[in-house]
Structure 1
């Protein structure tokens, strides 16, 4: 049977409008929540950013879901583990993003997975044979996954599958970045984690997304959609189509196809919405590896510190799983020999002071190409 995915237009975060559109999206896939269900909501609270910066799931989306659940007298929890442990970590991210206020409004239980009891679970993944999961995730009767529509410098896009990486508590995320660093392994790791406790419902905040070098330092992109499905996998393939990505632009989708996990999909609602997104800078980790071993240094995008933007908060240094970043003479320095190109520093910098651009070799090729065009005119 085909997985139903609804796509609904929604052009603002007006709370009543969002509520109406979330209801419409759920009606289109035939979803009804049972009375008195114990529900865990998993938003995207990557880091401490205000809603207008389009890094986290907007509070209006979470509020709409909570309101619908309260009508059915559901017991609501909201849980997350942010991407960065320092500077207040998950607690700060939940407060800054406005998610804590929603939690208080609906008298929900706010759960910081970093402070939760961890349970060992055996799984049959491609990368993982076991996983440590916060007990509230395993205890949840029903999980609603609320991803944010954004690009991602490592895997191309962060959606429903990637958002479940946030059930991994604390520093274990950095460990996985280090040990599963290339695109192929990391994408398969994300899939293993997603299926370790597959969410029961997925609703994507695509009203305002992020393009370019996301998931935290990209460009804000008005997209005007809410997407819903019982299948996060199906949702991600429809989101891919909406933002104009294809092929291996989204590494998790590529891995899902290879593992025969892409379902048949039936779109309900808006079927022809297209909002072209700027793609993140291409990385070559995990591709043509026999060549990369030779050309890795000259081909792969370079990470650069914008010292004018840098506020010396050391978020980059504390989030680096390879310990490749140091603070020397009042400046951040990156050891290129240690750097594993996971882009955690770029993802977690609150000032967007970690910039990614073409290597000198690639810039040289681009300049030659542009010069040739001028000469041939």
Structure 2
């Protein structure tokens, strides 16, 4: 019987190391025996923005190239793509490809996605998102491989397998989805709707060098030395959360997946090949989001809903400007779906009465001048 999740060491991004690690992590899941000549396979990478591979914000090109070679050897037609935050057009995405080292993919025998058309998704079974616009190149694939990066995240606490499929939404439309689903619980349910619609054939996690601290773009690289793989993005995420010291309740996408019976309550109930303890990072610098209290207010009884509302207020987090780092470039103001940020006297100002706490500003600030700020009450109570 196949394991739910496979873990294997990968000490660095050298070609020999990543090729060996990829073969080891995929073999218990049946390898790539399902790939047939002529199959069109889309690798959905994490190419969030214009950052070099060593910043640990994007899926490393060495891993993508190794996977492309494995797939093309089996006769597959492979395309690698993503929709970064920002414009979804050739000029913008070309810059992201160049910054993240994606030209190497074409040298390895794959193609980069240059189809920037949109498609319409219909998912009647969705919990919150039954109709949506997505990147059309995914609709042309016979199978999708979700190749994500393990990082901290301001809104979701962690971005890994499940969150990576939010990159199927065209870049400039992403703020609209934050505005439609400002509650982290509903945002997480929307992400799980996307995961269940696309149903990636495999999820592979680049956790060789992760991002800790002010992720998913402004944090610090942290070597973990791991590749993980699963046929379920949610099961992969449940194990990866454990490695970072995150409880399931602290990661809204995991709570949303458990609501649907897609994962058990704990990682210990999964069949994992590989020793989890070998990869646990006890001092990993996480973002304290207070998400663990969100789902407490989902009960039917008034008292439980009131308690949940109070806890959500006390433990809520908001973006905060680190003024000495802010250069007044206006990226945060432009991307904010609620239009709650202005540039005043050369610095960003967040008008918190209108803030929906989506943390788009924190995610895409090129100077890492936006951080997650928690109330003093939350900091005091969780000491």
Give the structure-2-normalised TM-score: 0.87
Q: Structure 1 residues 34 and 154, CA, compared in 2 at 3 Å: closer, same or farther? A: same
Distance in 2, Cα, partners of 1:305 & 1:132: 32
Residues 49-198 of structure 1 aligned to structure 2 (within 5 Å):
49-85=51-87, 89-99=92-102, 101-111=103-113, 115-198=116-199
Q: Is the 8 A contact 1:22 1:226 kept in 2?
A: yes
Q: Is the 8 A contact 1:159 1:236 kept in 2?
A: yes
Q: Is the 8 A contact 1:47 1:89 kept in 2?
A: no
Do residues 7 (structure 1) and 7 (structure 2) align? Answer: yes
Q: Is the 8 A contact 2:48 2:84 kept in 1?
A: yes
Distance in 2, Cα, partners of 1:244 & 1:80: 28
Do residues 357 (structure 1) and 373 (structure 2) align? Answer: yes
Corresponding residue for residue 47 of structure 1: 49
Report which stretch shifted further, 82-91 or 193-202: 82-91
> 1:283 is matched with which residue: 280, 286, 290?
290
Q: Unaligned stretches of 5+ in structure 2? A: 298-304
Q: Helix, strand or coil for the counterpart of 2:71?
A: helix
1:112 deviation in Å?
A: 5.2
Q: Helix, strand or coil for the counterpart of 1:154?
A: coil
> 2:363 is matched with which residue: 320, 329, 347?
347
Do residues 236 (structure 1) and 237 (structure 2) align? Answer: yes
Distance in 2, Cα, partners of 1:111 & 1:302: 35
Q: Is the 8 A contact 1:3 1:231 kept in 2?
A: no
Residues 273-352 of structure 1 aligned to structure 2 (within 5 Å):
273=278, 274-276=280-282, 277-283=284-290, 286=294, 288=297, 290=306, 299-352=315-368
Corresponding residue for residue 39 of structure 2: 37
Q: Is the 8 A contact 1:11 1:224 kept in 2?
A: yes
Larger RCO of the pair (alpha carbons < 8 Å, separation 6+): 1
1:360 deviation in Å?
A: 4.9
Report which stretch shifted further, 40-49 or 171-180: 171-180
Give the structure-1-normalised TM-score: 0.88
Corresponding residue for residue 267 of structure 1: 272
Distance in 1, Cα, partners of 2:154 & 2:119: 29
1:195 deviation in Å?
A: 0.9
Q: Helix, strand or coil for the counterpart of 2:182?
A: coil
Distance in 1, Cα, partners of 2:309 & 2:24: 50
Cα RMSD (Å) of the superposition? 2.6
Q: Unaligned stretches of 5+ in structure 1? A: 371-377
Q: How many residues align?
A: 365
